[in-house]
Amino acid sequence: MLNTVLVIDDSIAIRERIIRSLEAFNLFERYYEAEDGLEGFKKLLASPVDIILCDLEMPRMDGFKFLGMLKSRPDFQDVPVIILTGMNDRDLKVKGLEQGASDYITKPFDPEELVARVKVHLKIKHLQDDLKRSNELLLELSNTDHLTGMYNRRYLMESLDKEVQRTIRKGGNLSLIILDIDHFKQVNDTYGHLQGDIVLQKVAVQLQKELRSYDTAARYGGEEFLAVLPDASLEEAIFVAERIRIAIQSLTFREPLSALSITASLGVATFAVPCCSTVDDFIKLADDALYRAKTSGRNRVECAI
C-alpha cells in the first residue's frame, strides 16, 4: 500500500525535521510539503493523502481555516489531521480538536512521540478504508443479481421509484421496457438449468449493450428483465426495444447450445399522470403490453395502449 503524508508548516526546518523522523521508520512512500493552509489544500486537491500534519499558526491561511476547508469536502473528512502547536497553547489545542483535528503534537516535538502518534492514526485510517471498501462491496452485492451481474429487483424498484418521483416533480419523459425470453422453460427442459443460466447471462449482456450509459437494466425475475429509460419518449423506447429484440434474435451459442435460437417478447410503456400514479401502475402498463406481445405470437414489441 502506497502511504502518503502532507506536512504543512511555515518553517522549512520543522518540515524537514518531521520528514526525517518519519523517513527513519519507512512509514510513507511519498511526502508532500506546504508552507501554509492554502498551499496545503491545493496540494491535497492534486494528490490525496493518508494523513496530514498541520501547524496552527501560519501566514495567509492558518490551521483553523484549513480545517474548516476540509470540513466542506466530504471526500477529505476521513483523512486524519494531527495539529502542530506550541507547548503552552492549550486553548489552541482544544480549538483545533473541536474543529476536526484527530490529535495534536506539541512543538518542539519528540520524534518518537511523533512517529508513535502517526502510526496510530495511520492504522486507524487503514482500518476505516478497509471497512469502507467492505461496506461498498456489501452494498454492491445487495444490489446485484448473482447470476447475471445485473442490478436485482430490489435495486430496480428503488431506482424506478426515484425516477417516477423526479418525473412527477419536473415533468419530461420516462419509459419502461419489460423483456421476457420466449419459451425459456423449453431451454431448461432440453439443455438443463446450467445451460439455461448461460442463456440468461448472454441475454443480460446483450440487453445492456443496447442501452445508454444512464439507463438502468435489471433482472426482474426468472427470465424477465426490465430497463428504465429516463428522458425517452414512447417512440424512442419502442425503437430501443425493437433493437434489443433483433439483437437477442441474432444471438449465437457454443456447444451444446449451438443449435439453439432464442427470441424475446417486449412490452413498452411511458409514464403518464393520471393513468399511472405509482411505480406499480407503471410496471403494470408495461407488463400488459408484454402480455399482448406474448399472446400475439411472441418475438415482438408491443406498447401500452
Taking only the tens place, the pLDDT of each residue in 195-211 is 999 999 999 999 999 99
pLDDT tens readout for residues 286-301: 999 999 999 999 999 9
Whether 236 is catalytic is no
Written as nine digits, the cell of 112 is 518518537
pLDDT at 59 over 90: no
How far from 150 is each of 169, 218, 256, CA to CA, in Å?
A: 28, 5, 25
pLDDT at 172 over 70: yes
- By mean pLDDT, which of 19-28, 151-160, 275-284 is the weakest? 275-284
Return the percentage of the chain with pLDDT > 90, whole number: 74
Give residue 16's pLDDT. 95
Q: Which one of 84-88, 149-153, 167-171 scores highest in mean pLDDT?
A: 149-153
Q: Could you give the CA distance from residue 285 to residue 290 in angstroms, rounded to a whole number?
A: 9
Complete domains list, the chain, with CATH: 4-142 (3.40.50.2300), 153-303 (3.30.70.270)
Mean pLDDT in the chain? 92
* From 140, 223, 235, 242, the catalytic residue: 223
pLDDT at 87 over 70: no
Question: Which residues on neighbouring strands pair with residue 83, listed in sequence order?
Answer: 54, 104
Task: Give the predicted TM-score (pTM) of the model.
Answer: 0.65
Q: Count other Cβ atoms within 10 Å, centred on residue 62.
A: 18
Give residue 44's pLDDT. 93
Give residue 233's pLDDT. 94
pLDDT at 1 over 70: no
